[in-house]
Chain A
Amino acid sequence: MKHLWLTAWADIIESLRAKWFIVYTSVFGGIVVLLFVFGITESRIMGFTGLTRLLITYIQLTIAILPVFVLITTVRSVAGDREAGVFEYLLSLPISLAAWFWGRFLGRFVVVFLPVFLAMIGAVIWASIKGAEIPWGLFLSYTGLLLAVAWCFLGIGMLISSMARSSDVAQGLAFMVWLTFLLFLDLILLGIMIREGLPSDTAVILSLLNPLQVFRTAAMVLFDPQLVILGPSAYIILDYFSETGYIIWSIFYPVSLGTLSAYAGYYLFKKGDLP
Chain B
Amino acid sequence: MIKFDNVKKTFRRTEVLKGMNLDIQKGDRIALVGSNGAGKTTMIRCLLGEYTCEGQVLVNGHDPREERELILKDIGFVPQLPPPLKMPVGQLIQFSASLCDADPQEMISVLERLGLNYDELKSRPFVKLSGGQKQKILISIALGREAKILILDEPAANLDPEARHIFFQLLAEKKDEAVMLISSHRLDEVAALVNRVIEMDQGIVVLDDCVEDSVDLDSVLKSEIKIKRADEAFAKAIKAWRFESQDGILWQGVVAGPDRLRFLGVLSRYAAILQDIHMEEQKQ
- Residues of A81-126 contacting chain B, CB below 8 A: 84-97
Taking a contact as CB atoms under 8 Å apart, the answer to whether A94 and B68 are in contact is: yes
**Which residues of chain A are near B68, meaning CB under 8 Å?**
94-97
B50 touches A (CB below 8 Å) = yes
Taking a contact as CB atoms under 8 Å apart, the answer to whether A17 and B72 are in contact is: no
B139 touches A (CB below 8 Å) = no
Give the distance in Å from the alpha carbon of A5 to the alpha carbon of B96 in the complex: 13
Taking a contact as CB atoms under 8 Å apart, the answer to whether B50 and A94 are in contact is: no
**Which residues of chain B are near A272, meaning CB under 8 Å?**
52
Give the distance in Å from the alpha carbon of A94 to the alpha carbon of B70 in the complex: 7
Taking a contact as CB atoms under 8 Å apart, the answer to whether B83 and A89 are in contact is: yes
Instruction: For A86, give the chain B residue with the smallest CB separation.
Output: B83
Interface residues of chain B: helix, strand, loop or mixed (majority): mixed
Of A6-14, A65-73, A136-144, A188-196, the one touching chain B: A6-14
Q: Given A10-B95, A273-B50, are A93 and B100 also a contact pair (CB < 8 Å)? A: yes
Contact flags A1-25 to B (C-beta < 8 A → 1, else 0): 0110010001001100110000000
Tally of contact residues, A, Cβ under 8 A:
27
Partner of A92, one of B52, B72, B81: B72
A271 touches B (CB below 8 Å) = yes
Taking a contact as CB atoms under 8 Å apart, the answer to whether A92 and B98 are in contact is: no
Tally of contact residues, B, Cβ under 8 A:
31
**Which residues of chain A are near B81, meaning CB under 8 Å?**
85
- Nearest-Cβ distance from residue A100 to partner chain B, whole angstroms: 10
Q: Given A6-B99, A13-B91, A93-B96, are A273 and B84 also a contact pair (CB < 8 Å)? A: no
A29 touches B (CB below 8 Å) = no
A34 touches B (CB below 8 Å) = no
Q: Given A88-B50, A273-B52, are A95 and B86 also a contact pair (CB < 8 Å)? A: no
Taking a contact as CB atoms under 8 Å apart, the answer to whether A85 and B50 are in contact is: no
Between B72, B75, B99, the greatest number of chain A beta carbons within 10 A of the residue's beta carbon is seen for B99
Q: Given A92-B48, A92-B50, A274-B50, are A86 and B84 also a contact pair (CB < 8 Å)? A: yes
Give the distance in Å from the alpha carbon of A94 to the alpha carbon of B74 in the complex: 9
Taking a contact as CB atoms under 8 Å apart, the answer to whether A3 and B99 are in contact is: yes
Taking a contact as CB atoms under 8 Å apart, the answer to whether B79 and A89 are in contact is: yes
Taking a contact as CB atoms under 8 Å apart, the answer to whether B99 and A85 are in contact is: no
Instruction: For B9, give the chain A residue with the smallest CB separation.
Output: A273
Instruction: For A17, give the chain B residue with the smallest CB separation.
Output: B86
Between B69, B85, B100, B151, the greatest number of chain A beta carbons within 10 A of the residue's beta carbon is seen for B85
**Which residues of chain B are near A93, meaning CB under 8 Å?**
72, 96, 99-100
- Nearest-Cβ distance from residue A135 to partner chain B, whole angstroms: 39
Taking a contact as CB atoms under 8 Å apart, the answer to whether B72 and A14 are in contact is: no
Taking a contact as CB atoms under 8 Å apart, the answer to whether B79 and A6 are in contact is: no
- Residues of B117-135 contacting chain A, CB below 8 A: 125
B73 touches A (CB below 8 Å) = yes
Instruction: For A18, give the chain B residue with the smallest CB separation.
Output: B86
- Nearest-Cβ distance from residue B167 to partner chain A, whole angstroms: 18
**Which residues of chain A are near B91, meaning CB under 8 Å?**
10, 13
**Which residues of chain A are near B45, meaning CB under 8 Å?**
88, 273, 275
Taking a contact as CB atoms under 8 Å apart, the answer to whether A94 and B100 are in contact is: yes
**Which residues of chain B are near A95, meaning CB under 8 Å?**
68-69, 72, 99
B87 touches A (CB below 8 Å) = yes
Instruction: For B52, give the chain A residue with the smallest CB separation.
Output: A273
Instruction: For B50, give the chain A residue with the smallest CB separation.
Output: A274
Give the distance in Å from the alpha carbon of A271 to the alpha carbon of B52 in the complex: 8
Give the distance in Å from the alpha carbon of A251 to the alpha carbon of B91 in the complex: 36
- Nearest-Cβ distance from residue B124 to partner chain A, whole angstroms: 11
Interchain residue pairs with CB less than 8 A apart (14)? A10-B87, A10-B91, A86-B83, A86-B84, A89-B82, A92-B50, A93-B96, A95-B68, A95-B69, A95-B72, A96-B68, A274-B51, A275-B45, A275-B51
Q: A18-B86, A95-B69 are in contact. List 10 more A-B contacts (CB 8 A).
A: A10-B87, A14-B85, A84-B83, A85-B79, A85-B83, A85-B84, A92-B77, A94-B99, A95-B72, A95-B99
